[in-house]
Structure 1
Amino acid sequence: MLSAQDLLVALKLLQHDAPTHSHTLLGKPLGLSQSQVQQAYEHLTDARLLRPGTWSPVRAALVNVLVKGVPYFLPAPQQGDQLVCGVATGCGAVSLPCVETAPLVWPYAGGESEGFPLTPLCPEAVTAAQRDPELHRLLALTDLVRSHRSSLKERSVAAQRLEQAILEPVAAY
């Protein structure tokens, strides 16, 4: 069974410069331990989201899981109508027209944005996103797909952009 941390590792592995030669080095920017990264590797390989014996993601399969599966097994239900401070996600972190009057944020005391609270994919996602703008973009698009606050149009456009972001590097070869 995949966990949210497994998907965080998978999203990081989409980057060409992900340090795949060491579980510790891969886990450090994600806030994950060596054992958590090893477990994620096993889960991702078992789920056929990594090519066996490599750290290479099966990009098309990952798109399917993020767009079609995550909204059901890792949904982001509405947390309330009170605005909170936090780290921007969803439309507030990617250039996408929003229906909401306020953006979505991951509640975080050190955050600089204000918006409706949304539970991050996993607790480590907030800090990892702050360290890595590309990972932040992928997490924000994933949040739009899994959020109950997103309109159908926002979810659809986010799913298209997520698919493009994941599959685009393959088309460049």
Structure 2
Amino acid sequence: MKKHNGMRPHDVVILLKIIATDNDNWLMKDIANKLHISSSEVSESLNRSVWAGLITNDKRRVFKSALLDFIIHGLKYVYPQKPGAMVRGIKTAHSAPPLSFEIQSDQNYVWPYADGDSRGFTIEPLHPNVPKASLEDHKLYELLALLDAVRIGNTREQNLAIKELKNRIQ
């Protein structure tokens, strides 16, 4: 195994995709195809996640409690984000479901994406292919939008997002 040089943003995306798959019979190539990431990158990511204690040694099952701890206590510090310019894209954070049902705001946040249906302030996704993968998997989309609420939201938004993430991940 290569030397561990720390987690990368897309490692969290890959772990959430495994959780969204909702079974232990997934294949690495399927995760790679569905996330539009190379198989070798998925393999390296899983090795980093094993080292970090976020997935079992056989790379089949995510340690959900450990992942939630990282999301709750570390995500916004390790992968911080500030809203950028107004662009076309796909809604995220409190602008996307499920938080959009509870939080009313005139400020939309979006992942930049040319084929998106909304305008809002840019939030850089954890991987450039997140918007495309999210359009193909509604469950993953909601998990990633909740992650962005943890990354950029105020305390109320973060607490609502964490509550939703706990319900969906555990």
SS in 2 for 1:39: helix
One-letter code of the match for 1:133? H
CA-CA distance at 1:102 after TM superposition: 2.3
SS in 2 for 1:8: helix
Are the aligned partners of 1:18 and 1:26 in contact in 2 as well (CA < 8 Å)?
A: no
Residue segments in structure 1 that go unaligned for 5+ positions in a row: 168-173
Aligned length: 162
* 1:120 pairs with 2:125: yes
Following the alignment from structure 1 to structure 2, what is the Cα–Cα distance between the partners of residues 131 and 64? 27
Q: 1:161 aligns with which of 156, 159, 164?
A: 164
Q: TM-score, normalised by structure 1?
A: 0.87
Structure-2 change in CA distance of 1:133 and 1:8 (3 Å) = same
Following the alignment from structure 1 to structure 2, what is the Cα–Cα distance between the partners of residues 76 and 95? 20
Q: TM-score, normalised by structure 2?
A: 0.89
> Relative to structure 2, which stretch is displaced further, 158-167 or 55-64?
158-167
Following the alignment from structure 1 to structure 2, what is the Cα–Cα distance between the partners of residues 19 and 125? 23
Q: Can you list the C-alpha shifts for 1:138-163, whole angstroms capped at 9, x where unaligned?
A: 0000000001xx22101111111112
Write out the 4+ residue segments of structure 1 that deviate beyond 4 Å after TM superposition: none
**RMSD between aligned alpha carbons?**
1.6
Are the aligned partners of 1:87 and 1:108 in contact in 2 as well (CA < 8 Å)?
A: yes
Following the alignment from structure 2 to structure 1, what is the Cα–Cα distance between the partners of residues 37 and 45? 10
Q: 2:9 aligns with which of 4, 19, 42?
A: 4
Following the alignment from structure 1 to structure 2, what is the Cα–Cα distance between the partners of residues 18 and 75? 31
CA-CA distance at 1:130 after TM superposition: 1.0
